[in-house]
Chains A and B, each alone.
Chain A
Amino acid sequence: MEILTWTYLLVGLSFALYIGIAIWARAGSTKEFYVAGGGVSPLANGMATAADWMSAASFISMAGLISFAGYDGSVYLMGWTGGYVLLALLLAPYLRKFGKFTVPDFVGDRYYSNKARVVAVICALFISFIYVAGQMRGVGIVFSRYLEVPIEWGVVIGMCIVFFYAVLGGMKGITYTQVAQYCVLIFAYMVPAIFISMQLTGNPIPQLGLGGSLEDGVPLLEKLDGVLADLGFAEYTSGRKGMGDMLMITLALMVGTAGLPHVIVRFFTVPKVKDARLSAGYALIFIAILYTTAPAVAAFGIYNAINSTAEKKLDELPNWIATWEKTNLIQIEDKNADGKVQYLADPKANELTIDKDIMVLASPEIAELPNWVVGLVAAGAMAAALSTAAGLLLVISTSVSRDLFKTFKPDISEKKELQIARLSAAGAVILAGYFGVNPPGFVAEVVAFAFGLAAASFFPVIILGIFSTRINKEGAITGMLVGLVFTIGYISYFKFISPELNTAEYWWWGISPEGIGSIGMIFNFICCYIVSKYTPAPPAHVQELIQEIRIPRGAGKAHDH
């Protein structure tokens, strides 16, 4: 069968599966809509968390990012997995014991203040919108590349699917579709990785293949270091970023991961505190399968790309180059007219430009795998984008219906609240779709925002809310605002106001905008502490609440107080 037929078949089948699950898992109550009734098993929740977490960017772009960054790409690998340690040890069990539905719920109750709640809602909405627009764009790109439909139509089709199961099923529908989506995406990621690892190193396990040797007995990484150095690039296994910047970016990504509302909310869905801890462990295993394979895909990809193009005659290039040249993801320009391709660090002499997304998207063709694998990768990328989009839409709709509506109009009926939740999910899908079709030019730029803001706003006040009995509402509100304003200010300055100054020389303390969330977080901690010290301690019922959440016994299913 043709590639296109396979792709239609596999993507179509996976969509049918998601819709089938959505119909089976319809939400009947607000509790089912917000936290899937609180009865999800830790294993299923771990899988759903993994699918929720791994977005189109993790699936399509991360390996390519590491291909070109080499050792420096480790910040993403450590940052996006290390956050789960913080989540498991410092947040998930206590928030599960607290037992309500959202992060602003916790902030509002623990800091006995609707002002604090509103600040938290605004952060949650902002972070989730930034993220979801990128996912919709990802859906559109996958559609246009593999199914040859215009990006706009791709976004609309994606919107309809997400609309169907997020609006109908709420958290319950989303959780069980995410379990299916995880299976699709991990299978699609591993199949080409295993084959390429076999071809290059003879070892079918990519994690071992990365440390393995090529046919001539030279270790892959050593060979890659040499090849890149010859072409004028930095060695693959050594870094170019400053050590301080590496530390700060890794920290910001870790803390940001632990502070993302769509990840935290997943731990409200399991029955017990014990399950929340275990579930974070399962989630990290499922995530690690992809995250330890990605650096292997990265190294194999860049090695293959250089090997099959550098100094090769233009008319003897492999077929996949021509296929992907059509999409502009690979560009070749014979500048010195010698009929061969030169890949060099010097931009004036370099003749080959490779987009980072190629390392995953073209991997089945590079490895000369059968046509069905190409269709599988398309279905996998789609699963990654849709699962993350759905999780984010739920946070948005919950924030509107519960954190805003219910707070200021506490007497609305459950039926009405569910209606509002569904309506706001629908509104969010349409808005996200709009941004997917007309992406603001800065979508890629603002990803740093999402992590920086989560790190600088939520993380410190949640941690202090659990581990300190002295931090009060004045401290928390000041802390969140200072962290937010500082981080937004710094990122906006270097990304939008004066992008020409965005170099190490002008950064404060040599920290790039990607890593500044760490500093925002520290400021947040300091403000919380100092302001709380000079203002009255939290009232007795809050002290009791804190003692209560520190002890596992007595956690009912997530409930409405």
Chain B
Amino acid sequence: MTDRQSKSSAYWKKNLQTLLFLLAIWFLVSFGFGILLVEPLNAIKIGGYPLGFWFAQQGSIYTFILVIFIYVVRMNRLDREFDVNED
């Protein structure tokens, strides 16, 4: 394996780790808090919102935005670290 190849496979591995971590959050707030755990979470109230309902109709969407921006920042850093960035 050449140096370039091993570097790009290390880059890919880091990328996959990032993806798995972020997709776990994506799954947790929507399928987890918004659907599977909605009943127990609804027992907790935040202002006028039952918490499970809040995740299903508000919180999951805010978290999705956060997930994408964490991805953007993290990947830009990875790109530079492995010298595969575009500029």
Contact = CB atoms under 8 A, between A and B. Distances in A.
A binds B: yes
B44 interface: no
Contacts of A213: 48
Given A210-B49, A219-B47, A552-B86, A284 B65 contact: yes
Interface string B59-87: 01110110111011001100100001111
A220 interface: yes
Q: For the complex, would chain A's binding face be called helix, strand, loop or mixed by DSSP majority?
A: helix
A438 interface: no
Contacts of A547: 8
Interface in A284-328: 284-285, 288, 291-292, 295
Given A74-B34, A88-B68, A247-B35, A211 B42 contact: no
Contacts of B47: 208, 211-212, 219
Contact of A277 (B11, B58, B75, B87): B75
Contacts of B54: 211
Q: For the complex, would chain B's binding face be called helix, strand, loop or mixed by DSSP majority?
A: helix
Contacts of A90: 19
28 contacts: A71-B57, A74-B35, A77-B61, A78-B61, A81-B60, A81-B64, A82-B60, A85-B23, A88-B68, A88-B72, A89-B23, A89-B71, A90-B19, A210-B48, A211-B47, A212-B47, A222-B48, A237-B50, A237-B53, A250-B31, A250-B35, A272-B87, A281-B72, A284-B64, A291-B61, A551-B11, A552-B79, A552-B85
Q: How large is the interface on A (under 10, 10 to 19, 20 to 34, 35 or more residues)?
A: 35 or more
A361 B85 CA distance: 48
A402 to B, nearest CB: 26
Interface string A235-258: 001110001001100110010000
Contact of A247 (B23, B31, B65, B67): B31
A207 interface: yes
Contacts of B31: 247, 250-251
B62 A292 contact: yes
Contact of A285 (B11, B56, B65): B65
B1 interface: no
Contacts of B48: 210-213, 219-222
Interface in A72-87: 73-74, 77-78, 81-82, 84-85
A157 B86 CA distance: 45
B61 A81 contact: yes
Contacts of B49: 210-211, 221
